[in-house]
A = this chain, B = another copy of it.
Amino acid sequence: MGSPGDVLTLISAGSATTRSDLARLTGLARSTVSQRVDALIDCGLVEETTGGESTGGRPPRQLRLRTEDHTIAAVDLGATHCRVALTDLGGTTVATAEDQLQIAEGPQAVLTHVKKRVDELLGERTLTAIGIGVPGPVEFAAGRPNNPPIMPGWNDYPVPAFFPDVPVLVDNDVNLMALGEHRHAFPGTRHLLFVKVGTGIGCGIVAEGRLHRGAQGSAGDIGHIRVSGHEEAGCRCGNSACLEAVAGGAALARALGVESGAEVVALVQQGDVQALRAVREAGRLIGEVLAGLVNFFNPEVVVVGGLLSRVHDHLLAGIRETVYRRSLPLATQHLTIVPSRAGVDAAAWGAGILAREHYLSPDNINRLVSACEDV
């Protein structure tokens, strides 16, 4: 407690804007706080401005994180798209790009494309860290996809090695969506689930405010949990009655005789009764699985996102109906089930947060400050 990193955390979170705030929050002496702040200013991490409001005495100098010198690249790789966003250290987006890109083209081709896009967007800015979301399980510590089903050629590929000069954080896209939603909409919440209903169905888990990735980085893979009464539905995983095979966007599209989940959404928006009924029923099936997970995990909040959440009125109705019927009263008592606020940018938000929190973590800041003092 009280290291330069901790001080910066308070400043960047907005919990403290003056030296007095810091002294109060950390319990350190004013002189010590000043020394810490000076070190952070010398490293170019913090900036001082005059013009604070006086509270009856000398007005305090305002402290703020120097967000503009560092740029974070947030990359969201889907099965068929690539979104790149640049943000500053404060989380403000400064540039974005979006392309169609088949992840199945393999890591070399895809990452070359990503690097090119990032460099174009960067211009004169300096890159500080990269966060990348991919549609499959990842061994997080190493940044290697772990047997991803829809990413041929990516298994065990060391993504960070492709960007040798900056820290690279790679994670599953659904995890990142959960992280983004947690930090933006429910920052104080301890336990949260994010359910992504797109072509497939996945779930991101936030426990004690941190991502739970599981032993193999495959936690949250709820698409192949069995649902009652749909033994006829075969799934690409080889089993039958999987949630994804009956309630995923692809399954709905097939049932309604259209091409994609997007067209299902379009049908619902046009008021197609059959599509509407199908989405609501999908919500019920997802709710059945979710009811079990709510009993098991006991979260405070469940966020529903992904393509199909664009018609969340009907999807959520089905989910809520089943969860509140099948989960135990104690677990649902204070449970909130809400649609995602981030929409299509959820994964990119999360990727940016992951990279930003890595760079701004107390340990990393302490390293930077010591390195800077040694010069």
Given contacts A224-B295, A226-B291, contact A216 B330 (CB under 8 A): yes
Q: Which residues on B sit within 8 Å (CB–CB) of A300?
A: 215
Q: Which residues on B sit within 8 Å (CB–CB) of A146?
A: 330
Chain A window 318-353, contacts with chain B (Cβ cutoff 8 Å), 1 for yes, 0 for no: 000000011111110111000000000000000000
A147 at the interface (CB under 8 A from B): yes
Contact of A331 among B212, B213, B214, B298 (CB under 8 A): B214
Q: Which residues on B sit within 8 Å (CB–CB) of A203?
A: 296
Chain A window 128-161, contacts with chain B (Cβ cutoff 8 Å), 1 for yes, 0 for no: 0000000001000000001100000000000000
Write the chain B residue with the least CB distance to A293. B296
27 contacts across the A-B interface (CB closer than 8 A)? A146-B330, A205-B296, A207-B207, A207-B212, A212-B297, A214-B297, A214-B299, A214-B331, A216-B330, A216-B331, A218-B331, A220-B298, A221-B298, A221-B328, A222-B295, A222-B296, A224-B295, A225-B291, A226-B326, A228-B228, A228-B231, A237-B328, A239-B325, A289-B292, A292-B292, A292-B293, A293-B296
A171 at the interface (CB under 8 A from B): no
Do residues A296 and B216 form an inter-chain contact, with CB atoms below 8 A?
A: no
Q: Which residues on B sit within 8 Å (CB–CB) of A212?
A: 207-208, 297
A79 at the interface (CB under 8 A from B): no
Distance (Å) between the CB of A188 and the closest chain B CB? 12
A277 at the interface (CB under 8 A from B): no
Complexed CA–CA distance, A335 and B218 (Å): 12
A191 at the interface (CB under 8 A from B): yes
A81 at the interface (CB under 8 A from B): no
Contact of A334 among B191, B216, B225, B330 (CB under 8 A): B216
Complexed CA–CA distance, A203 and B292 (Å): 12
Distance (Å) between the CB of A124 and the closest chain B CB? 41
Interface residues of A (CB under 8 A from B): 137, 146-147, 190-191, 203, 205, 207-208, 212-222, 224-229, 231, 237, 239, 241, 288-289, 291-293, 295-300, 325-331, 333-335
Do residues B191 and A298 form an inter-chain contact, with CB atoms below 8 A?
A: no
Do residues B228 and A226 form an inter-chain contact, with CB atoms below 8 A?
A: yes
Copies of the chain in the assembly: 2
Contact of A221 among B190, B241, B296 (CB under 8 A): B296
Ranked nearest first, the 10 interchain pairs of A and B with the lowest CB-CB distance are A214-B298, A225-B292, A219-B298, A215-B300, A228-B228, A218-B330, A221-B295, A218-B298, A147-B330, A218-B331
Q: Which residues on B sit within 8 Å (CB–CB) of A147?
A: 329-330
Q: Which residues on B sit within 8 Å (CB–CB) of A226?
A: 228, 288, 291-292, 326
Write the chain B residue with the least CB distance to A212. B207
Complexed CA–CA distance, A190 and B214 (Å): 8
Complexed CA–CA distance, A335 and B215 (Å): 9
Q: Which residues on B sit within 8 Å (CB–CB) of A221?
A: 295-296, 298, 328, 330-331
Complexed CA–CA distance, A137 and B335 (Å): 16
Given contacts A226-B288, A228-B229, contact A218 B328 (CB under 8 A): yes
Write the chain B residue with the least CB distance to A215. B300
Distance (Å) between the CB of A71 and the closest chain B CB? 32
Write the chain B residue with the least CB distance to A300. B215
Write the chain B residue with the least CB distance to A230. B228
Distance (Å) between the CB of A146 and the closest chain B CB? 7
Write the chain B residue with the least CB distance to A213. B298
Contact of A326 among B208, B220, B231, B239 (CB under 8 A): B239
Given contacts A296-B221, A328-B221, A330-B146, contact A241 B228 (CB under 8 A): yes
Do residues A330 and B222 form an inter-chain contact, with CB atoms below 8 A?
A: no
